[in-house]
Structure 1
């Protein structure tokens, strides 16, 4: 035992304490932070506390609610906050734990740098079709043209994508 004021070197102190232990198996883990789109109907309209209580203790073990957002706006992470379908729930935990909870509440929103070209191509085609339409008021033909059709289509598909964030991905840098 070392007393205050007693001088010893590090090596003899280490020998008195004991042998250093290296890596301990099964003691390393990494945490992940995932955004999940709330899509299960039984959670819609409930408070955060009610949603947590509806999950079993084993299901929610090791998973922490970090943030809530609706339509891109942050919501307070409080027990009295009401959630709705389409809200984005940010969870923190091990990958397996977050996957387990995500399977019960909704769909994981995978971060991606890829653009959903099919969704955006359909939007352009829909815009061109809308722009082809002609309305006659008396003898005057009125049309939106390809620009107006693309604008209407963009507004419509933008609204749809805000309700279903897993569809129509476009990286913010490309936007």
Structure 2
């Protein structure tokens, strides 16, 4: 006889598995010595209908700052109350979408002999039919978190090597940041 777990147990297991995988890839203070403006970006995850989702806000990105991704877990019944002067909209995207998107395109940029991928995910929210474009650093970080937690290959070409995720991601993020800083 198969036993079904209560939804709370499923949520807890999904979150604990995700935390363990993320911890394996935490660089700690490895880049704290870099002399860039620094800030962090929160990538809030929650479990909805048994799947991990990223919570997004529609706002602008700054490119002259070294951004540290911080993954946080929020309660499954969280209700966003954004300040409309700062945030236009809030929406959820299943984490799996960043590996198996329905609408996706990428561009390549070669800078100093390094090929950079610029990802763009088009996500249509099934709840309201609005299409969102997730691109730039936001797309890169969302893809990276999905790779770490889900441990699957995406359906498209990417810059990360799943057999050596730490080294390939360090190289990719530093090149991406250096390119953005050089545009200023």
- Alignment TM class, shorter chain as reference: under 0.3
Higher relative contact order (CA 8 A, sep 6+): 1
- Taking structure 2 as the reference length, the TM-score comes to 0.25
Larger Rg: 1
Higher strand share: 2
Higher helix share: 1
- Taking structure 1 as the reference length, the TM-score comes to 0.26
